[in-house]
Amino acid sequence: MASARPVLEAPEIGRVLTRIAHEVLERNRGADDLVLLGIPTRGTHLARRVAERLVAAEPGAGPLEQLVGSLDVTMHRDDLRRNPVRALGRTSLPPGGVDDRVVVLVDDVLFSGRTVRAALDALSDLGRPRAVRLAVLVDRGHRQLPIRADHVGKNLPTAAEESVRVMLEEVDGRDAVLISGPDGAPEPTTEPAAEPAPGAADAEGAR
């Protein structure tokens, strides 16, 4: 994907995550009972970054360890039978677990909805949250399940055959969101994609 076109660079990603953090606080009316669970791999790093911004914006929100964790969905994926050999990720819950708390699932790209559905199944094995919401850095469309994010960094209209790649400093040494066509060539654009309105409904299904 060397010729991929960047649609977000590090400064934009930083601003997007700050906006998402403030949206989460406003929707929840503060940080009480919040848990941010990132979906590995990049969703885990995004969740931690959002949590850092929550702590900075909300006095008394508590240490990061009480706000953020990770949720591995590998064993709940609906394509597991076709690809049974998968590396397991890590599930790590903050103290107090998820019972009767507001859980915000965090992922990098929302596409078909199947990963988020798997996350909801994995979460149901761990407890009973009061509410479950979804925050994603990029929503590229093409949903196969009735999933809608509550907090979206950028709506990015794409063709199904295009590729979207999120790069993060912690994993890739760089912050960027890249898009390329099926042959690896950058896609031409006539105007920038519109910024999203926040999702209004709690997540009910998967990525």
Domains in the chain: boundaries: 5-180
As given in the structure block, the two tokens for residue 46 are 């995004």
Contact between 24 and 54 under an 8 Å Cβ cutoff? The reply is: yes
Q: What is the pLDDT of residues 18-56, one digit of tens each?
A: 999 999 999 999 999 999 999 999 999 999 999 999 999
Q: To 5 degrees, how large is the angle CA 12–CA 26–CA 140?
A: 45
Summary mean pLDDT of the chain: 86
pTM of the model: 0.84
Tell me how crowded residue 189 is: count the other CB atoms within 10 A of its CB.
Answer: 11
CA distance 103 to 68: 10
As given in the structure block, the two tokens for residue 165 are 């790649």
CA distance 127 to 98: 6
Tell me how crowded residue 201 is: count the other CB atoms within 10 A of its CB.
Answer: 12
In the prediction, which pLDDT does 60 show? 82
- pLDDT classification of 194: cutoffs 50, 70, 90: very low
Return the SS3 of 185.
Answer: coil
Q: What is the pLDDT of residues 85-130, one digit of tens each?
A: 455 678 999 998 999 999 999 999 999 999 999 999 999 999 999 9
Amino acid identity of 40? Answer: P
Pick the CATH number of 5-180 from 3.40.50.300, 3.30.470.20, 3.40.50.880, 3.40.50.2020: 3.40.50.2020
